[in-house]
Amino acid sequence: MKKELTRAEEQIMQAIWSVEKGFAKDIHEQLEEPRPAYNTVLTVIRVLVQKGFVKYKTYGKSNEYYPLISKEAYSGQRVQALKENYFENSNAKLLSFFIKENNIDLKDLNEILEIIKKERDE
């Protein structure tokens, strides 16, 4: 799945990822104030179903929604697209940009490397 979410769709997906499985009212309650109208949330959820990001189970007249793509998988796709579109598909250029823009110092870099080493060993 190489589809991109609009800002509104991403807001609703964040809520769905947060609840993991839930009805529209549960998703609506997860949204920050000022919340969009309940009917707007339902409309965006329908779009997410059509796009293949969300699926549902029907219980009577209610639908329970759940994500078909994890937040991590979607994040990975977006970072990959960012790298391809802005950094000539180069990990080094992407990381260099991130380090410069966020004023990451040598201590932070060493900490990051240690975390990566630990995760690889697990």
Residues whose CB falls within 8 Å of the CB of residue 29, separated by 6 or more in sequence, listed in order:
none
Question: What is the per-residue pLDDT for 2?
Answer: 66
Q: Give the three-class secondary structure for 6.
A: coil
Token pair of 8 as six digits: 């509104």
Q: How far apart are CA 11 and CA 9, in angstroms?
A: 5
**pLDDT band for position 10 (50/70/90)?**
very high
Residue 40 has pLDDT above 80, yes or no: yes
Q: How far apart are CA 11 and CA 99, in angstroms?
A: 27
Residues whose CB falls within 8 Å of the CB of residue 23, separated by 6 or more in sequence, listed in order:
62, 63, 64, 65
Q: Which residue has the higher pLDDT, 18 or 122?
A: 18
Residue 25 has pLDDT above 90, yes or no: yes
